Chain A
């Protein structure tokens, strides 16, 4: 598959978020995708590495542990072989050094036996058996003289093979030993020298292996019968619970579960004679202790790392998405504000243009109807003169109304140049409240004026600011029911700006109303509103270098907030008469 295409499709699926989708979902999806990607690119390699380590370490540590085991087995086999070989050679030597006649003498045999006991550990007895299998001479703790061995299998074997080493067996005294027999063949006869060896000596060899207390080492014969006592798997001559059938001369290793349920490693090696096997059993846990410890540590590190990564990735994704969301919100707000400003400026331009064009015909109507009135005044009485006068007055009144509108649109009401002076905003607002006091008392409106303890004096235009607050407060009073509440608050926004908010508990505004609240001719009043109040207010505030914001929810009242610069600053040309 095309790798680039593959990556492309993953990229698309994970990172390409449709703009059209719902905003909260979009950010959720974005956060989810960022989290998934970051987790993938961090945890996946970590996991792969941990996995590789796991197997690699397991392998190498196993080798490292197994190798010494092999060496140990090899050495120990050697010791055992040597031990047996030594005994065998000794017996063979005795057979060669002494003649049958000499050995038949009880005295000679006893001396030989004494020397053997002194020089070599483990000899229990020694006996001479003639070719027919009858014990001719004997030195040792038992009375075995004249015992006939001819029917026994070992006797057959030694006659055929010249040497014989028996499995371990319990003797008359109930201790484990094995027998070594050597056949001498002379011209006239053949005879057999047989010695018994105490196998307790094996334990010395086993303990010389220096095994851990949890480990076990023992010797078994070909049938799997224990030749030495084992620590965990039974006493001498019991059968071991492992199947060691694999024929091997070199060390052989297998993993299995012992009857106690432990996972164990069984290493064994064949001893040449007499096909004994030296077995070492070690619990796997013991063999791989280092590895298990390492594995535990590695798993711990991996686990902790994964947790840390997850936490960090989630926090990071969270912070990232929050930042993106904030940036989006800010951008949207900025665009919104720009749109609002541009819309108002465009509307203002249009309104001013229309007002200008209407003013000329309006003034003609004004003058014509004025002249009619003048003429009526100078002429004598005639029929329906009074009616004519009323009609002309009606025309003139209508012209007056139009004039009010065009003049307000053109900002004639504030034709005055901005006159900046130091003023106390709180005092100014109190004055404005004073204008409205009568209405508020009459309508039982609860007006609260909350002011910052220390309001700095600001530099602005007193008259125009009065108009601004009068407009907004008149609207607030218009919005609330009788007995309603209006809260006026002033504060210092930052070292350069002060804020004034006028909050009412009226019906509030819909999103659409908020969008259009500063537009000219937009009014929600059932009657009498020109829809120019807030339009003009907006223009003045901008002209004074300030800003006005509205915040409202339907059913939760409305808040108009005016921000004013502390020091005189001519605003941008957004009022209509400056645009024309």
Chain B
């Protein structure tokens, strides 16, 4: 099942994001890369990921803006912020905008992967529950669950 987890890594630091992607793939997770905000939004549009690892400070559209747009368009996408910048204020704002977690660079690979798995669990929780309700014929509840804000 893990291979099915589609992770999108967004960071302007190419060396970093490539290496991280490789390591994530080695841990049996599907991974895609974007180097800036525009690219990230395009990739999301083409293929909606389950989990996004998002840097805050990027040229062009920054992480906060990407988070805002992605969460608006695809609320089911779980976004994990991973940044070397950022203050308490940023963390607060990101969480308010629906970020799943807020990690500091440099982060341990096990922490990152663990957080991705947790985020994925949450990502599939709602559709699973909705599906269960739908199978039982309770479409209203299923719709409620899907529409519910996190």
Contact = CB atoms under 8 A, between A and B. Distances in A.
A349 B22 CA distance: 35
B16 A360 contact: yes
Given A356-B84, A363-B84, A371 B106 contact: no
B91 to A, nearest CB: 7
A415 B84 contact: no
- Main secondary structure, interface of B, reads helix
A237 to B, nearest CB: 125
A580 B87 CA distance: 7
B13 A371 contact: no
Interface in B79-116: 84-89, 91-92, 104-107, 109
B105 A360 contact: yes
Interface string A362-373: 111111101100
Given A578-B88, A578-B89, A580-B85, A412 B104 contact: yes
Contacts of A365: 106
B91 A415 contact: yes
Nearest to A415: B88
Nearest to A353: B85
Contacts of B22: 371
Contacts of B16: 360, 363-364, 367
Contacts of A403: 106
Interface residues of A, number: 26
B88 A364 contact: no
Contacts of A360: 13, 16, 84, 105
Contacts, number: 67
B23 A374 contact: yes
B87 to A, nearest CB: 4
A368 to B, nearest CB: 5
A364 B26 CA distance: 17
A359 B84 contact: yes
Interface string B1-25: 0000000000001011001101100
Given A578-B87, A578-B88, A580-B87, A362 B19 contact: no
B: interface residue count bin? 20 to 34
Contact of B105 (A362, A370, A371): A362
A577 interface: yes
A396 to B, nearest CB: 9
Contact of A364 (B13, B23, B89): B13
Contacts of A399: 106
Given A367-B23, A371-B19, A371-B23, A577 B88 contact: yes
Interface in A149-200: none
Given A403-B106, A407-B104, A368 B19 contact: yes
Contacts of A22: none
B102 to A, nearest CB: 9
A204 interface: no
A154 to B, nearest CB: 137
Nearest to B55: A360
Contacts of B23: 367, 370-371, 374
A381 interface: no
B19 to A, nearest CB: 4
Interface in A389-443: 399, 403, 407, 410-412, 415, 417
A372 to B, nearest CB: 10
A142 interface: no
A362 B87 contact: no
B19 A364 contact: yes
A382 interface: no
A7 interface: no
Contacts of A6: none
Pairs A-B, 10 closest by C-beta atoms = A359-B84, A363-B106, A366-B106, A363-B105, A367-B19, A577-B87, A364-B16, A359-B105, A360-B84, A580-B87
Interface of B: 13, 15-16, 19-20, 22-23, 26, 84-89, 91-92, 104-107, 109
27 contacts: A356-B85, A359-B84, A359-B105, A362-B84, A362-B106, A363-B107, A364-B13, A366-B107, A367-B15, A368-B19, A370-B19, A371-B22, A371-B23, A374-B23, A374-B26, A374-B109, A378-B26, A403-B106, A410-B87, A410-B104, A417-B88, A417-B92, A577-B88, A578-B87, A578-B88, A580-B85, A580-B86
